[in-house]
Amino acid sequence: MFVLTIDQRGSRRHGDRVEQLLADLAAHHEQTGVDPLRGFERTVGDEVQGVYDDPEPVVDVALHVLRLGGWTVGIGAGPVDEPLPSSPRAGSGPAFVLARTAVEAAKSRSRTVPLAVRGRDDGAGRDAEAVLVLVAAVAARRSEAGWVVADAMSVEAPRQDELAARLGVTQQAVSQRLRAALWAEERAARPAAARLLAWAQGVGEDRPARP
């Protein structure tokens, strides 16, 4: 299982944004058609928590929240105590403990990307963190024009000539923006991060032996 604990940064300066985040996450899940196992809800203060049983939407949501800005993301990968309650607030088990450790680690001022992963398999967890941090850092450098084409290709998957016609630019311009945005590299890295998160659960998933 995967527990995401998301904590607001600078709430004293910007006010409580939890309800706004919960609405955004609900809209994002509706758009992607993938719901968490246990939906996000406020746990304490300006923190929210959700539970997933699939690592791919965990990668997607973590990167989405980092793009929004103003949030710290902790991911815990491991078992949970069964039966899992309907409310994440009532959940317990290693994944919840690891998510708490992760979100506290992510608050370190030495981190350029406020995300951390802790897994029952600690090595795989930190490997997943490294990939996610790198992808988020690359995405943070995108221009507005880069985001426009990256979002369109990720959500709608149009042909580049169709997207160019819609934007009123040349197909070459679309291709250049995608290259500058490192869109193809990000899409290739996301499944790798998901596999590492799966291994980080430490519950017997197939994985290559460490050298």
Cis peptide bond prior to 158, omega within 30° of 0: no
The residue written with tokens 């989405």 in the block is 64
User: Between the CA atoms of 48, 203, 186 and 98, what dihedral angle is there, to the nearest 10 degrees?
Assistant: 30
pLDDT band at 150 (very low <50, low <70, confident <90, very high): very high
* Phi–psi pair at 19, nearest 5 degrees: -60, -35
CATH topology classification for 2-120: Alpha-Beta Plaits (3.30.70)
Predicted local confidence at residue 14, as pLDDT:
72
Residue 211 has pLDDT above 80, yes or no: no
Q: Report the b/e string of 118-145 with b at 16+ CB within 10 A.
A: bbbbeebbebbbebbbebbeebeebeeb
pLDDT tens digit sequence for 21-80:
999 999 999 999 999 999 999 998 899 999 999 999 999 999 999 999 999 999 999 999
For residue 69, the tally of other CB atoms under 10 A from its CB is: 9
2-8 and 71-77: which strand pairing?
A: antiparallel
pLDDT band at 187 (very low <50, low <70, confident <90, very high): very high
Whole-prediction pTM: 0.92
95 contacts 78 by C-beta, under 8 angstroms: yes
Q: What is the mean pLDDT of residues 147-163?
A: 87
Nearest CA among 210, 169, 204, 200 for reference residue 99: 200
pLDDT tens digit sequence for 64-120:
999 999 999 999 999 999 999 999 999 999 999 999 999 999 999 899 999 999 999
